[in-house]
Amino acid sequence: MSINQKNILFLIGIGILFFFPFLGHVHLFDWDEINFAESAREMIETGDFFRVKINYEPFWEKPPFFFWLQVISMKLFGINEFAARFPNAILGVISLIVLYKIGKKIVSEKFGMIWSLVYLASFLPHLYFKSGIIDPFFNFFIFLSLYFLILTLKKTTVRKRNSLAAGLFLGLAIITKGPVALVLILVTFITYIIIRKGKVKVPIVSLFIFFFSSLAITFVWFGYETITNSPWFIIEFIQYQLELLTEPVAGHEQPIYYHFLVVLLGCFPMSILALPAFRKRQQEVPYDFTLWMKILFWVVMILFTIVKTKIVHYSSMSYLPLSFLAAIVLYSYSKDSTKKISKALRITFLAIGSIFGILLVATPILFKNSYLITPYIKDEFAVASFNSEMNWQGWEFIIGILFIAGLIISYRFLYKNEIAKFLKTIALSTGITLLLYAIFVVPKIEKFSQGPAIEFYESIENKDVYVTTIGFKSYAHYFYSKIKPQQSESGIFQVKKEYKESLSDKKDFNVIDLNTATNLWLLEGEIDKKSYFVTKITHRKKMKEYTKLTFIENKGGFDFYSRNP
């Protein structure tokens, strides 16, 4: 067996080991994970696989490609958490192999392994492959599109084939999350041309192939939707994308440095290891590809710093170029055993890693001994949520200690310039830590944040009732109570005109508190079946205004009500 085959088998094995176990061990998290899984579930319920829906109403925030993958997964494994996260776990293994293969092609097998392992060892990239969010596929398609576009600029016999591949992957990215993929590719490409002062021969025929192939893929959904259902849905979709750029949608407004902080801390250790690559050129790696990766990184970071809506995974496209930059730093040191990694870099690595370790140790301790922190928490819902049955055993902090031990060992290998041992140690430390946390800690934290509500939804699963949330936005009641089309539509169609008009009189409610006339109808109107309401205790005073409700119980920070027809 060749070294190449051994490396690929190793990456497949380590990917399977860390990405697949316990995928369904914890409920999906509101909003995004449940939102996307619910859209896939409703596709299965309705048999309509081209129109994305939530609560069986058009949902124009996302195109359908990722939901198609989740539908396939749910057909195989059932409608559950494992199925919702399975596509990203598969992509995690594929990504490790692709990074290795590209790294091998542009530099060497050794570089490819370093690149794959540094990506695996970093917290957020690793964590996203165990999630049910769209971004891993979106980022992967953009990266491959740019990679083949870079190859297109080289004069080879397969130039047209590369431009076709670049266009196809761009098209897949667009029908995965939207036209921002095209924006990222174009801005990166134009910036590269400017930096190279126009000394780049752009093959016009290849560019036409690139754009038309991407257009052909996007037409699969955008074109079909426009022809079948008129352009209004696409118009709403585009308007929503513009709204994300210009306004902090759903309260996601953060300081200007937000994404830089997320990447610096969340992408440990690659965010620290990549720092020297920004200051000086590494001779061991092709300069041109390095330039592309630097441009892509800065385009992503600057663009999403400008965008008003700031969500943690919006800057996740920067993870791939950042991992490449970290890899070239480690590769340069591995090539020359006499070179010493700077003291400043080693101390920064140890300092940021120690912060993570301390947080991993402190989190279960503070949750188990909540009296230590509740006096300082002003949020009544958070304080009440500590009363949820989380069943802490008291030993969970040891997981953090294990990570710190791995951090110290990897630091010693880094100090000695033993790069291979360093990477394997930190990758195993990250993988084992996140795996153990997923088994023993995350389910308890999930019970704190949303557990009582989801357990309630599961108790009324498949019952012919209405269920809604009041006072906060959620998608959990759709997915976990398995709402059927008739449960949604009958209520919507029976809402009386006076309830729609009365929304204007409820000025003390904001758009999230009581965002539809349907909720008013459920609270006050002549309903045709039993209704359930879930609200947070912070909304308890307002709920007393609705005299037709029956209080069921309180669990954690949630109150539960019902109303008979």
Amino acid making up residue 319: Y
pLDDT at 249: 56
DSSP-assigned letters across all residues of 512-544: TTT--HHHHHHHHS--SS-EEEEEEGGGHHHHT
pLDDT digits (tens, 9 = 90+) for 64-83: 999 999 999 999 999 999 99
pLDDT at 253: 61
pLDDT at 513 over 50: no
Range picked from 422-436, 460-474, 504-518 for highest mean pLDDT:
422-436
pLDDT at 43: 93
pLDDT at 170: 96
pLDDT digits (tens, 9 = 90+) for 172-216: 999 999 888 999 999 999 999 999 876 778 788 988 999 999 999
**Letter string b/e over residues 223-244, b meaning 16 or more CB atoms within 10 A of that residue's CB:** eebeeeeeeebbeebeeebeeb
Distances (CA, A) of 346 to 101, 278, 323: 29, 16, 17
Confidence of residue 149 (pLDDT cuts 50, 70, 90): very high
pLDDT at 382: 83
Name beta bridge partners: 533: 468, 561
At 219, give phi and psi (nearest 5°): -65, -25
- For the chain, the structural domain boundaries read 3-264+280-319, 347-449, 452-563
d(CA 563, CA 565): 7
pLDDT at 507: 45
Specify burial of residue 478 (Cβ count, 10 A radius: 0-12, 13-18, 19+).
buried
Angle at 550 between CA 549 and CA 553, to 5 degrees: 130
**Helix, strand, coil percentages for the chain (3-state, nearest 5):** 65, 5, 30
Specify burial of residue 563 (Cβ count, 10 A radius: 0-12, 13-18, 19+).
middle
High-pLDDT (> 70) share of the chain, %: 90
pLDDT digits (tens, 9 = 90+) for 296-324: 999 999 988 887 777 778 889 999 999 99
The encoded tokens of residue 347 equal 């101390």
pLDDT at 496 over 50: no
pLDDT at 392 over 50: yes
The encoded tokens of residue 2 equal 């060749």
Question: Which residues fall within 8 angstroms of residue 411, CB to CB, at 6 or more apart?
Answer: 346, 349, 350, 353
